[in-house]
Amino acid sequence: MIANMLDLMALFSALAAAFLWFRASSVFVRRVQKNEAINSLDLNRIVTAINRTQALNRRAALATALSALAIALKLAHGML
């Protein structure tokens, strides 16, 4: 019973991590040329894209950690 719950938790958290990493990798930050004048709207777009990517990476890292914890608990349960 506990082993099956840990397996399902590891599976769903690994799928969530994969989805979040995929979403984080699809966010593009606009490249700025050296001689380009940046106005406040451009700067706002760049900062917003960086913040969204950082938030998605944080969620993906948390889901990956949860998946690793579930797998570690399952292995520890199997040893006992």
Q: Where are the domains of the chain?
A: 2-79
Residue with tokens 């938030």: 55
**What does the pLDDT look like over 4-60, one tens digit per residue?**
888 888 888 888 888 888 887 776 766 777 788 888 888 888 888 888 888 888 888
Contact predicate 53/24, CB 8 Å: yes
**What does the pLDDT look like over 59-80, one tens digit per residue?**
888 888 888 888 888 888 887 7
Query: CA separation (Å) from 60 to 49, 54, 67, 76?
Result: 16, 10, 10, 24
pTM of structure: 0.67
Cα-to-chain-centroid distance, residue 31: 23
